[in-house]
Structure 1
Amino acid sequence: MTRIIAGVAGGRRLQTPTGDRTRPTSDRVREALFSAIEAWAGSLHDLRFLDLYAGSGAIGLEAWSRGAAGATLVEADRRTADLIRANARSIGCDAAEVVARAVASVLAEPARASYDVVFTDPPYPLTDEALAADLALLVANGWLADGALVVVERSRRGPEPTWPAGLEPLAGKRRQKKYGETTLWLAEAAVLSAADDH
């Protein structure tokens, strides 16, 4: 079991998948993640949130609880995706869209909407090359709003993600946060000027 930390559903319990199908983000790392997002955005109110490799859905549902206008959660394992739907119902979240497909196949399609914040927590065995391909598809297929924040959770022992053109790591100490065996890497999407748009 895990809990929503803050917001309208703060304290509510969420079910977590059994076995080794997922690697839940610890409460400490989740709190640090949302502190970093709120430091960047001011607040999550009215922002659209994309949670990739969503597991129990704790991150995307936490974003909704803290005011996100909507959350899309992508999880390839169908039983786990059903669990996310059950968790959303249990906390009264009707703004969550759960997509039960592989992340790479979802991102390979043109986005139906762009997102202000993207969190991706791929399995640690996912290769750096596959992660780089995911990030490139986020940029290429219109998943990112102008100036969107992208946060990647990886093993502390791994290298920094390969950021594609159109994603710039945040400056200085905001670029990465380390907690135990986990590192969060943060980057921002380019803002297109009116001239760039033509």
Structure 2
Amino acid sequence: MRIIGGNLRGLKLADVGAGDAQAHLRPTTDRVRESMFNLLVNGTHGNPIPGARVLDLFAGTGALGLEALSRGAARVAFVDDGVAARALLRANIEKARAMGVTDVWRRDATNLGENRAKGYDLVFLDPPYGKGMGEVALANALKGGWIAPQGMVVWEESTAPPVVAGLTQIDQRKYGDTVVTLLRPA
């Protein structure tokens, strides 16, 4: 696993092997991540990355948020309540020398509570597949003010996710066994 583009391009991230089923660690493959970022950067909806405040829910290894930093995001908040995930995440933040522009929160991504700051411009959502956690996380993130009014959500799942009230789908692509859905607040 490595950073695909930007100023950290080629940086090898901490190895998790095939993932950690117990901790629900299933890193986004380099190929899917590259396709996802090509969709963001080259899509008709405008590139949301430069200068963005990014929220990486179910962050796991942090590869999505670190890829965004590499491509010009201003700051990333990583949310994961798994011990194994946070250890890998911290190792990857150190490898990227990104300690000053990242936050790591030990929280349940499905229950963030109220956001006391401004909403995030770009939200990555990579929940454990097929457990309905993405829907709950997004509904609570919207309710708590975590997503900026003009923000974008990038949701990775194994199947096309259901519609979440308050969000509008703007694009959806299938890459192998992964479905990537782009959403904006309605």
Equivalent runs, 1:43-192 vs 2, <5 Å: 44-94=49-99, 95-105=101-111, 107-127=112-132, 130-155=133-158, 158-165=159-166, 167-170=167-170, 175-190=171-186
Q: CA RMSD in A?
A: 1.7
**Hey, which bits of structure 1, 4+ residues long, moved more than 4 A?**
none
Alpha-carbon distance, 1:159 to partner: 4.0
Give the match for residue 26 of structure 2. Answer: 23
- State the one-letter code of the partner of 2:142: V
Q: Which residue of 2 aligns with 1:37?
A: 40
What is the aligned-residue identity percentage?
Answer: 37
TM-score, with length taken from structure 2: 0.88
State whether residues 150 and 188 of structure 1, in contact with CA within 8 Å, keep that contact through their aligned partners in structure 2. yes
Q: Is the 8 A contact 1:131 1:161 kept in 2?
A: no
Deviation at 1:35, TM superposition (A): 1.3
TM-score, normalised by the number of residues in structure 1: 0.83
In 1, Cα distance between the equivalents of 2:135 and 2:20? 28
How many equivalent residue pairs? 179
Question: Hey, what's the Cα distance between the residues in 1 that align with 2:138 and 2:105?
Answer: 18
Question: Quick check: which has more Rg, 1 or 2?
Answer: 1
Q: How far did 1:76 drift?
A: 1.2
Q: CA deviation at 1:125?
A: 3.6
Quote the Cα distance in structure 1 between the aligned partners of 2:163 and 2:150: 18
Once the 2 structures are TM-superposed, how far is the Cα of residue 13 of structure 1 from its aligned partner?
0.7
Q: What's the secondary structure of 1:103's corresponding residue? A: coil
1:100-139, CA deviations, whole angstroms, 9 ceiling, x for partnerless residues? Answer: 221123x223343311111101001422xx4322111121
Are the equivalent residues in 2 in contact too, given 1:132–1:164 (CA < 8 A)?
no
Distance in 2 (CA, whole Å) between partners of 1:187 and 1:82 is 30
Deviations 1:148-175 (A, max 9, x none): 11111111xx34322212x1111xxxx2
- 45-54 or 78-87: which moved more? 78-87
